Structure 1
Amino acid sequence: MLNTSKVKYSLRPGLFSGLMSLAGTAMASGDIEFNTDVLDLNDRTNIDLSRFARSGFILPGTYSMVVQVNAQPIAEQSVVFYPPDNDPKGSQACLSPDLVEQLGLKASGAAKLTWWNNGQCLDLQGLPGMEVSGDLATSTLTINLPQAYLEYSDINWDPPSRWDEGVPGLLADYSITAQSNYQNNRGNRNNLSGNGTLGANAGAWRFRADWQGRFERRREGEAKDQKLDWTRYYAYRAIPALKSRLVVGENYLYSDLFDSFRFTGAALSSDENQLPPNLRGYAPEVVGVAKTNAKVVVSQQGRVLYETLVAAGPFRIQDLNDAVSGSLDVRVEEQDGSVHSFQLDTAGVPYLTRPGQVRYKLATGRPSNLQYNGDGDFFGTGEFSWGVSNGWSLFGGGITDNNYHALSVGAGRDLLAFGALSLDVTQSQATVWNERLAGKSYRLQYSKHFEQYDSQITFAGYRFSEKGFLSMSEYLNARHYGLNGELGGRGGENEDGERIDDWKPIGGSKALYTATVNKQFRDLGATVYASYNKQTYWDRPHTQRWNLSVSRYFNVGTVKNMSLSLNIYRTLEYSYKDNGAALTVSLPLGRTGTLSLDAYRAAGDNSFSSRFSDRLDARNSYQLRASDSSASGYLTHMGDQADIDLSASQQSGNSSLGVSARGGGTLTSHGAALHRTNSTGGTRLMVDTGGVPDVPVRGYGSPSRSNAFGKAVISDISSYQRTAASVDLESLPNNVEATQSVTQLTLTEGAIGYRSLDVIAGEKAMAVLRLEDGNSPPFGAQVKNMKQQDTGIVNDDGLVYLSGIQAGGQMAVSWGGAEQCILTLPVVLPADGLTDALQLSCRKTATDQSLPVPPVLSGQPTDTENTSS
């Protein structure tokens, strides 16, 4: 058997140097004549260079290729190459009608299209300046088009013609938190809480069911707060032609003019996510401080939007959905048993629209409530924004039912260098408990990004409401609870005759102030973040929440990248007050560790502690914290199937243990996989590695590895934004090779995308090929596995470096444009690897019963002449 090192030596000059030194001339579409005298070959008569004989020539057939339009990848799909009528020896890519639709042609360009091959292929002459070329080495079909033919596109955004609705499938996402607390005087308190989404996709439709639950046990055998609610059943889909989103079922009103409330019905609205990124809004942020390892729950009108464990210290939640609007309830449950909560009013940027465009939102149905279902008469609402000119926008809308009417009008102005400003006024009329209330509400909004100063007023707003003004949600609460939360002599029943035993303050809003500011001082290495919310009322105490965060990086002597951060907050809600501050000094320790010294003041108490945080690797990080009266630990693991957080603490005889998991499962006709996720029910991409397990696939952050069936799911993908998934080549197992490592696509909201990556699994080794007559295949012959993946090119005297060698597998050898014979690989491969060249026989048919069984390789040299496979 030949020595591998000698084989590799003869391969280099024979194939690579020889082909690079080819002599001859070639016209753009003419044949190339090779001077084979420059090739270092023993037999110059046994050569097959047909695949290289014409510049850019691709044999007629079907190929899986990534299509690029003006250097931007748009999709991976099958492309057929046909010989054109005027050149039977040539080949030309067939651009099918489905592919042409994805090019994003303007209507004027589409009108010029002509076709050939019975209307199945685009005639390139119909669009002057259009060029198409294929490259099998990179599996790429390159299309160059004059920009005048194309719709608007962005570096990360594609026009609707390129959007992918995904494949049909099922999904189940969850976020679960379990905590166990022991207190000396109260015993054990265990609770399990969570929320999630079940869903199904069919075409463009997304069907979803949201759930949330809580189970708490305080003493043995006694259950408290055991509850499971299905909070929403709904379906939605994108309507690209209208840049809008249709939702039917249980929903929340997401309005730029009116407040949010729950209802059952239908809504059709312009979808900002379908616009280019620079025209979209932003998602709200939740900022606070946790005294200990804590659970943070963000909800709205009783529906849990977000739940997670956070480590002790300042926290900042930035991954809420940007469709959320209105007031959010934030609850921080400390592991020592204390709880503090506050309300946060989400902000919206001024309601501006591009010149000539109209944005709208329409909805109808019946208001509903998680606690008492039906909650009012059928209503209808509509609003719009019209871009009148390059700087002005007019907007307005109305909402009405049998006893409530509201009308709003306003105008917005783009002040260019000075930001954007809008002003609107809303008039409401309501009849509640036989009383008629009417009033106006005025609102002013401002937004500005000062790029030259690295600062941004994300939002600043002011609203003033007259005493008789009621929003829709205040009107609905008044129907149920009574005006100002009093049932006064009405026998404890609401207007619908339902018995009411609880109490809730209603209406009476006077003024609302909101502001959010970001500022970076790059020269000082400092960042400032501030937010302010204040709500005043006509007939009860006001509520207030403000937060200020300041951080700065600096050096002290030889210690680099130290940081100082200060977080101050104040919450005032009716009779509840909570003032707090956290001061942290951090310095690097070790290669990746950080040592922090913390000083807290919360609820009138002072505390001091030290923390050490570090990461074990790219997927695991931890934090240890200690003070004079407590100790705690926090571990975060980013797994392929779920994200897991573990926390434990001990304080003054009280101990606690907590764990949270966030993940999901996705099932399609192509396969199934468990995966991590943060946004339940969101958009995701299933990547198929061709049945090869343990392939690292990267979307963002740490890569996920394909499961035992060769499937991996990348979740939390941005809708309507170009997304790339790739094989992490640096982390590939030694016996795996990726011939196609990157794929790109743009998915619609909630879609389950599907893409396959060309991955070859198996051993690699040199081999010597022999035909049945003892000769070798010609120089330049191709070797492919049964998946039609290229695994090698034959060199001089039948030498070939093969990849993807599987025990007992088969490969095909092709030359002259056709498959000529089949290789059968050994049924058992040596445990210590393939160190010697394989001797393989190439048979005319793989099913020939006379074929001998391939021998078991022992790794020992054998007589080359007597080896048949």
Structure 2
Amino acid sequence: MEFNTDALDVGDRQNVDLSQFEKKDYISPGRYLVQITLNKNPLPGEWNVEWQTTTAENGTQLCLTRDLLLQWGFDDAFVRELNSKTSCLNLIDKPEFSAKLDKSTMRLTLTTPQSWMKYHAKNWTPPEYWDEGVNGALLDYNVYASQYSPHDGDSTQSFSAYGTAGVNLGAWRLRSDYQYSQNFVSGNSTDTDSRLARTYLFRPLPSLASKFTLGQYDLSSDIFDTFHFTGTTLESDESMLPPDLQGYAPQITGIAQTNAKVTVSQNGRVLYQTTVTPGPFTISDMVDTLQGQMDVTIEEEDGRTNTFQVGSASVPFLTRQGQLRYKTSAGKPTSNSHNDVHNPLFWTGEFSWGWLSTTSLYGGAILTADDYQAFTSGIGFNLNMLGAVSFDVTRSQANLTQETGNNSQHGYSYRMNYARRFDSTDSQITFAGYRFSDKNYVSMNEYLDYREGDNGSDNEKESYVLSFSQTIAPWDMSAWLNISRDTYWNAESNTSYSLSLNHSFSIGELKGLSASLAVTRTRWNDTDENQYYFSLSVPLSAGRNLAYNQQRYGDNTTQSLSYFDSSDRDNTWNLSVSADSDEISDGEPALRGSYQHYAAPGRLSLAASVQPNHYSSMNLGWNSAITATRYGVAMHDRPNGNNARMMVDANGVSGIALNRGRSVTNAFGIAVIPSLSNYQTTTVQVNNNTLPDGVDISSPVFRTTLTEGAIGYKALNASQGYQIMGVVRLENGTFPPLGVSVVDSKTHKDIGLIADDGFVYLSGIQDNSVLSVSWGEHTCEMNPPNHSNLDSALILPCRYTHQARENHESD
């Protein structure tokens, strides 16, 4: 490219240096440490790449070696076809390929046809782009405290905490799940429970699309019941697959009568805990790796509890033709309460193989070193328009030691799973399952109970699970139904039904009204519990609404009037007054209020209730986490499970908001974004509308793909400094040529460009900065003032460096 300097409206047309713009994409020969974006996908880490002198038009070209292309995900066959007499392959000259380096951010952007790459799934990031993150430590915690004070009698208090502590070292992740609870009566401790529910080490194996786990863990199986054990597991990891092929997480619904605590647990280990307001609630953010039955406990303010079970099982899946998925574990069963390791040694394995394009074969076995074996075989079908279905049969053989001697028995268990979405009617059967076990069938959990002397465990007979949703668009109505039923050979059945209907409508000028009806019926431990809940909500303004609720529990009917305010997304609260017929006549309604505050360090929840002459109560909850690496430490909201998290370093600049503003850099310039999806590309963006004054960020948007449990790290290259308008003047009174860049000598970052007669606008200047200007063989340096100046142009003296002074004098 050649410039006609006569066209420039400048006073001194001879004092112009546009050499850095004359050759397209010219980069001085040498090796550079760069960040790379390939087809809009950021590659993890930094890469050392080289530009070499060439006879091409731009004078230099990027050297691409075979190893680099393979690491970046280029197809092996395509790379083999590239011939070259040197280590630099003949790729840069292909017109379909482009490479551009942004020298201000040292980011190399590559664009290439997708056919040259290994993978083609549009909603999936290939393993070459996954980032294992940096080394660090983490502590995720949830704290809950409550007090109930009856009008007559002793007050009770409770305190509980649960969470995860962990360390990341390379691809390895060490995790320890802990929980603690303590109860008090009038301030005196009555009982305490503390435990490390499980401690384990794991790492992803992307080359195998698998995950390896070592330590105390829970059996992950699509075939057998889960139990706690100490040992090892190697399993295919569905989260490494495209999202359309991944699993199913249960949705939990119920109705609370007061400000209640809801706890979800499995085998005594707390999985989830939250506080809900009176009325129906839904928990839909459970992790999708849970298997087996889960216990749900609703604890009301006055201590009353309601417990039921929810089943979690995989939707029938089909393995791609010719592919194999597997899980295998070995170890010894472990007590949840005391982490005691018991006999017997066991091994279990299962697989799913894509036999045909619409048919998969699957099966598995669980074997002990002593007296228990179980084998399963099954088949799954893709019925296209009719959904997906699977059938399997399990045979168990067990020698049960009882007081009368040895009792050897074998039995069978039969299971069917089904899933289907009906697009024509906008209906979906999320999961439907049926299982029948004959009287002599013994599960692994039952066998372990017998070994420990517990002969009273329930012997399951039948199990039904159904989850169905329906949208009726013409009526603006949606319906959701969940049915769960378990029957036993030696115990009463347990049944749970949940039905909810929601309808949106308008009456005259009143728009956006909604009505809902929820019905639940639970039979648990020979007790029937029926609840009905009706609600009518009237919007008052954006984020504010008034609601009338009627709830019937047993023979008791309660009415309430509530006001909700979520107009500030970081501060939500509600107030309500409720009473049954007797309390209305006595003038003793219950007053309740709750408040939630969302902030960068975590989430605070408060709830309080008072009923004259009856009781008062208060609940407090705090969800938070701490992540620390060699780059810094920050508090943040608690993530879900082993989801990845992203540490962002703003170079000491505080108050920078990320991704909708709830993650904000702290006083040390560090922020952590929790709960990024594992193995899926996430875009992180700086909220430029709320940037503090004087802050400049060269790359406000970036993308990342992190492995499970990783602590990602990204330096924002943020600068908080001064802005100056000035005129750069040399020692002889002249000006540097037009078109020359001004560079920070410490960071090597371009912060301005010389205009006509030495005029320049500079931004991001730090205290005691040294700025350099180079053209040809000349270099001069200047020291700008430590304050901003945008009112008038300052004179900025630029003094030649020693070598540049000699070159200037020789000229």
Same fold? TM cut 0.5: yes
Q: What displacement does 1:834 show?
A: 4.7
Q: Which residue of 2 aligns with 1:791?
A: 751
CA spacing shift, 1:179–1:95, aligned 2, 3 Å: farther
1:473 match: secondary structure: helix
Q: Which residue of 1 aligns with 2:116?
A: 149
SS in 2 for 1:111: helix
Q: Choose 406-415 or 556-565, whichever is displaced more.
A: 556-565
Given that residues 649 and 669 in structure 2 are in contact (C-alpha distance below 8 angstroms), is that contact kept between their aligned partners in structure 1? yes
1:71-150 correspondence runs (5 A): 71-75=40-44, 77-78=46-47, 80-87=49-56, 90-95=59-64, 99-112=68-81, 119=87, 122-124=89-91, 129-136=96-103, 140-150=107-117
Asked if the contact 2:24–2:58 (Cα under 8 Å) also holds between the matched residues in 1, the reply is no
3-state SS, counterpart of residue 836 of structure 1: strand
C-alpha separation in 2, matches of 1:270 and 1:67:
30
Q: For residue 697 of structure 1, what is the aligned residue in structure 2?
A: 658
* 1:415-461 C-alpha deviation (Å, 9 max, x unpaired): 01110010000011111122222210000110012233322111111
**Does the residue aligned with 2:46 lie in a helix, a strand or coil?**
strand
Contact 2:396 / 2:442 at 8 angstroms: preserved in 1? Answer: yes
Deviation at 1:241, TM superposition (A): 1.4
Matched ranges for 1:405-554 at <5 A: 405-433=373-401, 434-483=406-455, 485=456, 506-554=457-505
Bigger mean CA deviation after superposition, 647-656 or 195-204: 647-656
State the match for 2:728 in structure 1: 769
Give the direction of change, closer, same or farther, for the CA distance of 1:83–1:584 in structure 2 (3 Å limit): same
SS at match of 1:374: coil
1:228 is aligned to 194
Q: Which residue of 2 aligns with 1:860?
A: none
- Point out the more displaced range, 668-677 or 765-774: 765-774
Q: Provide the rounded CA distance (Å) in 1 between the counterparts of 2:57 and 2:319.
A: 55
Is the counterpart of residue 243 in structure 1 residue 209 in structure 2? yes
Quote how far apart the aligned CAs of 1:518 are. Answer: 1.8
- Give distance in 1, aligned partners of 2:653 and 2:508: 52
Q: Write out aligned runs for 1:564-603 (5 A).
A: 564-603=515-554
**AA partner of residue 725 (structure 2):** M
Does residue 308 in structure 1 map to residue 274 in structure 2?
yes
Decide whether the 8 Å contact of 1:64 with 1:76 is kept in 2: no
2:19 matched to which residue of 1?
Answer: 50
Corresponding position of 1:257: 223
TM value normalised by structure 1: 0.86
Is the Cα–Cα contact under 8 Å of residues 599 and 662 in structure 2 kept in the other structure?
no
The structural deviation recorded for 1:237 is: 0.7
SS at match of 2:568: coil
Counterpart contact for 1:112–1:126, Cα < 8 Å: no
Cα pair distance change 1:114/1:806, threshold 3 Å? same
Residue 296 (structure 1) aligned with residue 262 (structure 2): yes
Q: Distance in 2 between matches of 1:42 and 1:241?
A: 63
Structure 1 position 356 matched with structure 2 position 322: yes
Quickly say closer, same or farther: Cα 1:400–1:414, change in 2 above 3 A.
same
Match of 1:626?
A: 577
Q: How do residues 156-305 of structure 1 correspond to structure 2 at under 5 angstroms?
A: 156-220=123-187, 222-305=188-271
**Alignment partner, residue 710 of structure 1:** 669
Q: CA deviation at 1:225?
A: 2.4
Q: By how many angstroms is 1:128 displaced?
A: 9.0
How does 1:726-741 map onto structure 2 within 5 Å? 726-741=685-700
Aligned to 1:811: 771
The percentage of counterpart residues that share the same residue type is: 39
Match status 1:38 vs 2:7: yes
Per-residue deviation, residues 574-594 of structure 1 (Å, max 9, x unmatched): 212221121111121123212
Measured after TM superposition, the shift of residue 626 of structure 1 is 1.6
Whole-angstrom distance in 1 between the partners of 2:31 and 2:538: 59
CA contact (8 A) 1:444 1:462 kept: yes
- 1:678 equivalent to 2:678? Answer no
- Give the match for residue 864 of structure 1: none
Give how far 1:639 is off.
0.9
2:350 matched residue in structure 1: 383
Q: Tell me, what secondary structure is at the counterpart of 1:476?
A: helix
Q: CA deviation at 1:232?
A: 0.9
Q: Which residue of 2 aligns with 1:856?
A: none
Retained in 1: the 8 A contact 2:25–2:58?
Answer: no
**Deviation string for 1:495-544 (max 9, x for gaps)?**
xxxxxxxxxxx132111000111222233222211111000111221001
Aligned AA for 2:792? Answer: D
Partner in structure 2 of residue 637 of structure 1 = 597
Cα RMSD of the aligned pairs, angstroms, is 2.4
Q: Give the aligned residue type for 1:465.
A: S
Task: List alignment gaps of at least 5 residues for structure 1.
Answer: 1-31, 486-505, 849-869
Is the CA contact 2:27–2:51 (under 8 Å) kept in the aligned structure 1?
Answer: no
Tell me how far apart the structure 2 counterparts of residues 302 and 508 of structure 1 sit (CA, whole Å): 20
Q: Which has the higher contact order (CA 8 A, sep 6+)?
A: 1
| Contact 2:634–2:666, Cα closer than 8 Å, also in 1 | yes
Q: How many residues align?
A: 787
- Residues of 1 paired with 2:245 and 2:276: CA distance? 33
Q: Give distance in 2, aligned partners of 1:519 and 1:637.
A: 34
8 Å Cα contact 1:355-1:390 kept in structure 2: yes
User: What do residues 11-38 of structure 1 show as CA deviations (whole Å, max 9, x unaligned)?
Assistant: xxxxxxxxxxxxxxxxxxxxx1111222
SS at match of 1:747: coil
Q: Which residue does 2:796 correspond to in 1?
A: 840
CA distance in 2 between counterparts of 1:621 and 1:277 reads: 33
Q: Alignment partner of 2:353: what SS?
A: strand
> Secondary structure at the residue paired with 2:258?
coil
TM superposition shift of 1:63? 5.9
Partner of 2:582: none
One-letter identity of the residue aligned with 1:684 = R
SS at match of 1:477: helix
Q: What letter corresponds to residue 46 of structure 1 in structure 2? A: N
Displacement after TM superposition at 1:125 (Å): 6.5
1:611 aligns with 2:562: yes
For the Cα contact (< 8 Å) 1:524–1:552, is it kept in 2? yes
1:445 and 1:122 mapped to 2: Cα distance? 53
Task: Summarize deviations over 1:52-84 as a string: whole Å, max 9, x none.
Answer: 112233344566755333344444635645133
How many Å separate the matches in 2 of 1:172 and 1:714?
A: 14
- In the alignment, residue 350 of structure 2 is paired with which amino acid? E
Counterpart CA distance in 1 for 2:93 and 2:215 is 47
In the TM superposition, what is the alpha-carbon distance from 1:478 to its structure 2 partner?
2.5
Deviation string, structure 1 residues 202-243 (Cα, Å, up to 9, x no partner): 1111111110001221123x2122222111110001111111
Identify if the C-alpha distance between structure 1 residues 70 and 89 changes in structure 2 by more than 3 Å, giving closer, same or farther.
closer
User: For the residues of structure 2 that align with 1:686 and 1:115, how far apart are their CA atoms?
Assistant: 41
Residue segments in structure 2 that go unaligned for 5+ positions in a row? 580-588, 805-811
Q: Deviations over 1:303-347 (max 9, x none)?
A: 011112222222211121111010001111122332211111113
Separation in structure 2 between the aligned mates of residue 276 and residue 178 of structure 1, nearest angstrom: 41
Change (3 A) 1:598 1:139: farther
Secondary structure at 1:453 match in 2: coil
Worse-matched range after superposition: 72-81 or 233-242: 72-81
Q: Structure 1 CA distance, aligned partners of 2:245 and 2:641?
A: 25
Q: Counterpart of 1:843 in 2: which secondary structure?
A: strand
Q: CA deviation at 1:560?
A: 1.2
The one-letter amino acid of 2:468's match is V
Q: Distance in 2 between the 1:661 and 1:518 partners?
A: 33
Residues in 1 aligned to 2:189 and 2:85: alpha-carbon distance in whole angstroms: 73
Structure 2: how far apart are the matches of 1:789 and 1:530?
Answer: 60
Describe the shift of the 1:95–1:661 C-alpha distance in structure 2 as closer, same or farther (beyond 3 A).
Answer: farther
2:559 maps to amino acid? F
Distance apart, 1:678 and its partner CA: 3.2
User: Distance between the aligned counterparts of 1:837 and 1:215, measured in 2?
Assistant: 68
Distance 2:31 2:515 in 1: 61
